[in-house]
Amino acid sequence: MGYSGFQIIKEGLFGQKGWKPLWRDPAPKARYDAIIIGGGGHGLATAYYLAREHGLTNIAVLEKGHIGGGNIGRNTTIVRANYFLPGNQEFYSHSLKLWEGMEQDLNYNVMHSQRGLINLFHSDGQRDAFVRRGNAMINQGDDAILLDREGVRSHLPYLDFDNGRFPIYGGLYHPRGGTARHDAVAWGYARGADQRGVDLIQNCEVTGIDIENGVVTGVQTTRGAIRARKVGIVTAGRSGQVAAMAGMRLPIESHVLQAFVTEGLKPVIDHVVSFGMGHFYISQSDKGGLVFGGDLDFYASYAARGNLPMAEHVMEAAMTLMPMIGKARVLRSWGGIMDMTPDGSPIIDTTPTKGLFIDCGWCYGGFKAVPASGFAFAHLMATGQPHATAAKFRLDRFRTGVGLMDEEGTGSQHNLH
């Protein structure tokens, strides 16, 4: 089903009764050419690009719950390409380009809003680091503008510029950064995949991976056995459990990351803003809620909710940066399950089992990566070769120590990212 202005007017006049479900609800077939485990953003994008770029349409996405119910609906919706290290840089740059064409490509409104992202800095040393990052971004072909204090003030007059402890020295402005409606991204890719013949099978939990002589032959699910010569694992925080079905242990520890939203307010924050000293970032949704978050709680967790110390820390950072926020009331908070790698960068790779592929380790940065992750993983599953933009996301970099991508520069160790 296509969308048009005419159709919207027509449905508005006739009670919105003519809209149809965006995808079918098929029963699983006995055999597919490829199976994707996990119907989140990355899994759906993988299915879409397998069908669109590689003509593989006899494929299924198996989702334990419902489409859009995982991390794709539990993030702070930020889209940006401001990475520094080779490997990450070309990947996120590619991802932002895919974002910029996504709505036309999918014919679906994902409310992608390039409202600009400003990373603030609060010392001379931090300014130097951001100058270096900005130059790296420009060299990659993306956009970065260094703002001085008055430059920041022209965009964000409401900040506390003279905070005694963390005065604002300036900011790195990334105009192409912004936000998108996260659920719509899942729905758009689901619809696009379904239109190309992909079976999206919900309420279908994978309980086993069948392997014969080192070659994958299919999966066991709560809706029966399904055969396939290619299987892709795209299960984010649950990667450890699914990989264990194939006898693998991953360099991943699952952590909780909290986020918060206030009641709906009139437009007040026009950009995405990140505080350089307190791990705090904020934007305002089109509905009016202030959406903000902080750092990990820093312990292994699958609870999808955090503890109060980090909530307190995030509120303190918010009050330090923009005291006006104290008048807003927090509506709700939630936690996402983050698949943390030791170096904080992701994995898109083959596995020791032939025909079994894995896409995981997105840490706290998975949302912006959705299109490029799907694109690169589809390329890997279809051709057996890594896509150029994701060639450095190797699984064995931890074992060999070659090609680690520690974007934060804190060290490659599980408790540091």
Partner 1 sequence: MRINCPHCGERDRREFYYMGDAVAVTRPAPDAGPDAWDDYLHNRDNPAGDTRDLWYHEAGCGAWIVVARNTLTHAVHGATLAQKAAS
Alpha-carbon 286 to chain mean position: 19
Residue 335: which of 363, 293, 291, 273 has the closest Cα? 293
Q: CB 305 → partner 1: shortest distance, Å?
A: 8
| Rounded CA separation 252/193 (Å) | 29
- At how many degrees (to 10) do helices 182-195 and 88-106 cross? 70
* Closest approach of partner 1 to the CB of residue 247, in Å: 12
- Cα dist from 297 to 221, 259, 313, 317, whole Å: 33, 11, 10, 15
Q: State the minimum distance, in angstroms, from the CB of residue 299 to partner 1.
A: 5
Kindly tell me which of 36 and 404 has the beta carbon lying closer to partner 1: 404
Residue 335 CB, nearest distance to partner 1 (Å)?
11
C-beta of 115 vs 279, nearer to partner 1: 279
Phi, psi of 131 (to 5 degrees): -60, -45
CB-nearer residue toward partner 1: 250 or 325: 250
Smaller CB separation from partner 1, 208 or 309: 309
- Kindly tell me which of 244 and 388 has the beta carbon lying closer to partner 1: 244
Smallest gap from Cβ 125 to partner 1, in A, equals: 25
Torsions phi, psi for 242 (to 5 deg): -70, -40
Residue partners of 267: CB distance under 8 A and separation at least 6: 284, 288
Contact predicate 78/368, CB 8 Å: yes
Where do contacts with partner 1 occur on this chain (CB under 8 A)? 238, 240-241, 244, 249-254, 298-303, 307, 309, 342, 398-399, 413-415
Smallest separation (angstroms) from partner 1 to the CB of 332: 19
Determine the Cα angle at 109 with ends 186 and 99, to 5°. Answer: 70
Q: Pick between residue 90 and residue 343 the one whose CB is nearest to partner 1.
A: 343
